[in-house]
Structure 1
């Protein structure tokens, strides 16, 4: 049985940084956002986190052979059809309480094969999927041959809302394509929905550990040691030699990885300062900040975020 760490939450909450840090631990194989593998990689042959095209990445080609006898045996159109009928937010009530959507077993089976193949190819104890989608996590809970553990990554909703307004290019694309953008009100509603879904997932018996982005940046060593224990890694995995104190914070020395899709940070190699991104405090208009705060106030309070003043 392969152990899977699923990083969940709304995008722009720090999941890519979390994955990159976890990926430096011995025995951990980060896979990126596997949910996008079928279209962005198989169909469009975008670049892996290592810099190579998916079709030229030795790691992913070995995974394809191990899992399916080669990626040519996978039909991306079939995956799109299955995703539409199973892995959507509107299907979460059925995924949680039944009856299960038709095609769930087939759709989830593709992920199971990828996880098991990646563990076999890498020799890792744990594989990390940073897909984030709450509906996918609900699909994965029905797979019997994986040990699913979810890290629910939360960030202050106002910081998330501001991040979704920014123009961020997708460097893996051959065009001038940019990442999706949302209005602050739209991102606030998505923030509520995704985070509430992960809270419910924990009550359904899935192992869920909530981590705040701000805590990760304040004390990355303590956070990663706690998550290594949650993942069931050996004690030697918590040496954390890739993290070093510098000034009032930390710097992480990141090596290359094979993230199939995700935030552009997956291409970053070398020394990365770990600092809170709180540009929203000066750049998100006050009116928009208040709207987001009002829409997300109940969950903000439950996660320990003050509605005014500095983030804890």
Structure 2
């Protein structure tokens, strides 16, 4: 069994990358960290189009992984005690000890281990694609599977901040009209800075780490050959993610460049100043280029 994790911030193109990899085969589970809350507790749609609790795939996975019974609320509470940015900072980056955290982490790791084994068994696939992105989740996966591939996907912070400000409906919420959360430029910039810093700090020196830029995905896909074998169409049972995961019509991959004209003024300057060190490190220009706006 091989696990491929997509790391990075929201609105960076992780669903696009997941779909690209999925064309090579494997089982795409979307943002697995939300299996308990969004999938099983709220009953949001699986990528197959069924409510997650009614999806035969997830029903068999849960039956295999948790044969003694399922309490998704309890598991979600356990996950939140382990997989939060504040916890990641205190326990992993700073190294502040906590016996309670160690116990919770070990218990949740045991659950994740059984879930991954069940996913592989039920799907019949030896490659699992997980686009949860958060470094705290991927830190657990690395402990569970040290050989896991970590694709650190980055996108220009100004593009990410612009995207977070746009309304986007959540079709997986099939019983009501609900939209993905919108956050301001300051919050988006700070999240982008922390998540990309933490991801690099924790994983850049580990085997299986690879840095990818969203803007480069359309220009070359050679890296895909090393990620999964082309053994037929992938299975898609994503429990959360961008609405693009429900799009069954093949689309030409092209970077979204609307932010170059729509994201300007004080917001652009604020995000640029806050994220400048990492923008420069990832090869993004710090100064606006008028010729880009006209393209």
State whether TM-score is above 0.5.
Answer: yes
Indicate the residue corresponding to 1:12 in structure 2: 11
Q: Indicate the structure with greater strand content.
A: 1
CA contact (8 A) 2:24 2:224 kept: no
1:293 and 2:293 equivalent? Answer: no
Q: How many residues align?
A: 284
Indicate the residue corresponding to 1:90 in structure 2: 86
- Cα 1:30–1:255 change in 2 (3 A) is closer
1:138 and 2:139 equivalent? Answer: yes
- Tell me the CA shift for residue 77 of structure 1: 2.1
Distance in 2, matches of 1:77 and 1:56, equals 18
Q: Secondary structure at the match of 2:128?
A: strand
CA contact (8 A) 2:28 2:235 kept: no
Cα offsets for 1:86-134 (capped at 9, x unmatched): 1111122423546362300111222222211111111212101111111
- Tell me the CA shift for residue 65 of structure 1: 1.9
CA contact (8 A) 1:7 1:150 kept: yes
CA contact (8 A) 1:215 1:223 kept: no
CA contact (8 A) 1:216 1:223 kept: no
Distance in 2, matches of 1:130 and 1:33, equals 5
CA contact (8 A) 1:14 1:213 kept: yes
Paired residues for 1:107-186 under 5 Å = 107-143=108-144, 147-173=147-173, 174-186=175-187
Distance in 1, matches of 2:164 and 2:156, equals 13
RMSD, aligned CA: 2.2
CA contact (8 A) 1:34 1:261 kept: yes
Indicate the residue corresponding to 2:57 in structure 1: 59
Cα offsets for 1:252-283 (capped at 9, x unmatched): xx987211111111101122121110111111
Distance in 2, matches of 1:301 and 1:285, equals 19
Alignment TM-score, normalising by the size of structure 1:
0.84
> More deviation in 100-109 or 210-219?
100-109
Cα offsets for 1:119-163 (capped at 9, x unmatched): 1111212101111111111222222x5632211110000000000
- Cα 1:35–1:19 change in 2 (3 A) is same
Alignment TM-score, normalising by the size of structure 2:
0.89
Indicate the residue corresponding to 2:74 in structure 1: 78
